[in-house]
Chains A and B, each alone.
Chain A
């Protein structure tokens, strides 16, 4: 990470202010009109539109192995995804992912940093 203290705080403050503006937006306008249906239809998908793309390179080309695909990390991701989809619970997704990660670390099935 090559940011100075000023840049880091600028990032934190700008995201904080921007997020507060998004959260206050409609609540701030009394008697607000409803958002058009097509806008809502797009906003509904913001988390699933941004986060999978953000994590995909980490899963397929982990920086720890300099981008070489690690079957261990794929297995960890598959366990977390599978458990999360089946149980609909983030807790079980974390438990399943961590369990596979620990198991693989102990059996040398996971590429280690350094």
Chain B
């Protein structure tokens, strides 16, 4: 499970080459999901007025679709630069949780590998790799890193390509199309599958109610205010649900 498995006999372990292949197989079905989001971001960013370099800059330097769409949406509303950056980073706060969850499994890798792992830490990479490390047979450090890179190999390049395709398609689309509907569809597609517990639904509800109620707050700060309340609501309902089931931790 942890770095101890480095000392296990090599014969019982998955080779890095094999781990990489297994990772690719696990990541492949998820790469399909990335394509529509990348295309939507490319189209929306282009329609919003970003040029090709800026659109690709987002997808290559940030690689986090929800925060990119959030940033572009706030830029369309001409929110202050600081608010755009803070809101996008608020969307990405969950990455710190991914980082903490992966640290026991990948924390002993060389610095350059950890840097690359961090850069490529998309939702799917965390979900797939963490599940494999926690539930699969133990792997060596090298195999764990190879598995992770295998998972992101079909996903991340497709993210860049889909953005590029969307950005080029965006400039070719005739004017007068109701392209604006793609933004809520993309956001809903990200969020709807997450609404699996009462806590998630509560957080989403408070987020919506808060954002509408705080719409008067200047500089688009109402959204961040609503998000803070919604996070607290989610955490509180989770605790409440656990206590009700008698599973609360001391």
Contacts and interface: CB of A to CB of B under 8 A. Distances in A.
Interface residues of B, number: 98
A88 B192 CA distance: 7
Interface residues of A, number: 81
Nearest to A34: B100
Contacts of B232: 42
Classify the interface of chain A: helix, strand, loop or mixed: helix
Interface string A93-104: 110011001000
Given A12-B54, A42-B231, A54 B223 contact: yes
Interface in B174-201: 175-178, 180-181, 183-196, 199-200
A92 B33 CA distance: 10
A56 B185 contact: no
Given A15-B68, A15-B84, 20 more contacts: A11-B85, A14-B85, A16-B62, A18-B85, A24-B114, A26-B100, A27-B99, A27-B118, A31-B107, A35-B100, A43-B94, A46-B227, A48-B207, A49-B206, A52-B208, A53-B207, A57-B212, A58-B73, A64-B178, A114-B176
Interface of A: 1-3, 5, 7-16, 18-20, 22-32, 34-35, 37-38, 40-60, 62-64, 73, 76-77, 80-85, 87-91, 93-94, 97-98, 101, 105, 110-114
